Homo-oligomer: A and B are copies of this chain.
Amino acid sequence: MANRNPATLALSALGDGTRRSIFERLTRGPAAVVDLARGLPVSRPAVSQHLKVLKQAGLVREVADGTRRIYHVDPRGVGALRDWLDQHWRGALAAFQHYADDINDKESSP
């Protein structure tokens, strides 16, 4: 069930509220784990675990800086998610257009 394609991994990762908070925070600039844990209602290990998931999803990367690990968003992962959404966005519009046409046909035919 758990597909390995990037968009699927990204969506599963962002399905959790705490991970969304971390991700949104990182879109405003890189941060260390300690900094992320501050301002979140969960412990630091919890943040580490979430970062691991976000990393496996291709949404973030980290760079060592002394004992600190500076996390930043990975545009490639976000791009994959963007592609997935654009693709289904077009499909949604097309499907909705067909649906609207069918409604019009049904209303105007009798």
Contact = CB atoms under 8 A, between A and B. Distances in A.
17 contacts: A1-B18, A12-B15, A15-B16, A23-B88, A27-B88, A27-B95, A28-B91, A28-B95, A30-B95, A72-B96, A73-B91, A73-B95, A78-B85, A78-B88, A79-B89, A81-B85, A85-B85
A95 B2 contact: no
A12 B96 CA distance: 23
Given A29-B98, A82-B85, A82-B89, 18 more contacts: A3-B17, A11-B15, A11-B20, A24-B88, A27-B91, A27-B92, A63-B103, A72-B96, A72-B99, A73-B91, A73-B92, A73-B96, A78-B85, A78-B88, A78-B92, A81-B85, A82-B86, A85-B85
B72 A95 contact: yes
Q: Which 10 A-B pairs have the closest CB atoms?
A: A15-B15, A27-B91, A73-B92, A27-B88, A72-B99, A1-B17, A27-B92, A78-B92, A29-B95, A11-B14
